[in-house]
A and B are shown apart, each in its own frame.
Chain A
Amino acid sequence: MRDTIRLSVILGIICVISALVLSGMYSLTRDRIEQANARKLEEALAQVLPGQNSFKAFEDLGNALNGSLGSVTEVYLASGDDFGGIAAKAAPAGYGGPIEMVVGIARDGAVRGVRIISQSETPGLGTEVTRDAFTGQFEGRSTPESLKVKQDGGSIDAVTGATISSRAVTRGVSDVLDVFHRLSALGVLAGGSSSAGEEEQN
């Protein structure tokens, strides 16, 4: 009995020390990690809408679109050259978890660029969808209906052996296009004096 208590106390002490070390490390790196992630997002946004370096987060997205966003998680309004366009973050479910991606849509409704920020697809197979050879196919597309992989009757070439990952990325792009069309129907994009999204992102 006494031995049990002694061992429990020792294990408890080791756990407490571990917890202290972990929380110390966490608070030491938290700000830096947040900064690094914000910078990564900023870079990705600038890549999918070239020539654009100021984005406004569109807040209250769920309310504006009655909650049906598909896989879209965040929308940023472009304000410079591409005023009226959007860059949006989407996270469709892939083969190994959500595929986080950003999609830029110019004001005329055509996809300008697609970048995958993070994914956990099968190395060597699903990860191929992050390559320009695959994501480049979306550039210039403007109708969500045609955005399907060839197996599903669309016109996107899926990566060999990675149909699920290819399908997920394709769905992400088509969800963003869908959100773009509904936002522009609401008149909150070009010229619309939107009251939502006050926060300056840069």
Chain B
Amino acid sequence: MSLRKDFANGLLAENPTFRLLLGMCPTLAVSTSVFNGIGMGLAATFVLVGSNAIVSLVRSIIPEKIRIPCYVVIIATFVTVVDLAMAGFTPALHQTLGIFIPLIVVNCIILARAEAFASKRALLNSIADGFGMGIGFTLALVVLSLIREMLGTGVVFAAPDFNFAGVKLLADEYRSVIMILAPGGFITLGCTLGLINWLSRPRSSGGSKS
């Protein structure tokens, strides 16, 4: 299996958010602004690549029966190490991405890829899969947060950490706060999933309707 195929798999065909429906909780939580979406996506990508690599390396010494608790310990350790390293060596980055770390620990995409992919495949393939899944997750978050941020605040790409007020698209009287609250998350996610399913529905060949 080629590395490129493993990488591309996560982008669309098995997009973790839109196709596998994994990691819904952090998705709903952070897709309130594009800035948050990208931050969460990048942090998750990094952790996915790292945890996939470690799980793939130790896959032969972990007994089948206790693999899940082993993966949980490995992932939790890796995430905590990343958190500490970021806080200690790159405090500025930690200030921006740090709030996503606790959400990554409970992100089931990480465990799902360890179980479904990295535990059976070679190191490089697992890294490619982690990378593809991470980028796919980031793309999905950007799509959802773009919709929610625009309808909810009227502004897109607002990045308070970089003192960037964002690009104003809607006048204040047209925005609806509900879109950046939890219900707006469900509405946006549901409509986007429906649209994607409709676009990718199997089409009947020819003009016959049946």
Contacts and interface: CB of A to CB of B under 8 A. Distances in A.
Contacts of A6: 63
B85 A29 contact: yes
B81 A25 contact: yes
Contacts of A122: 32, 180-181
Contacts of B77: 18, 21-22
Interface stretch (B66-74, B115-123, B200-208): B66-74
A interface, by DSSP: helix, strand, loop or mixed?
helix
B66 A123 contact: no
Contact of A25 (B66, B84, B181): B84
A18 B160 CA distance: 36
B153 A28 contact: no
Interface residues of A, number: 29
A26 B88 CA distance: 9
Interface string A155-166: 000001100000
B30 interface: yes
A29 B89 contact: yes
B33 A11 contact: no
B108 interface: no
A47 interface: no
A186 interface: no
Looking at B36, B80, B84, B149, the one whose CB has the most chain A CB atoms below 10 A away is: B84
B177 interface: yes
Interface of A: 3, 6-7, 10-11, 14-15, 18, 21-22, 25-26, 28-30, 32-33, 36, 40, 120, 122-125, 127, 130-131, 160-161
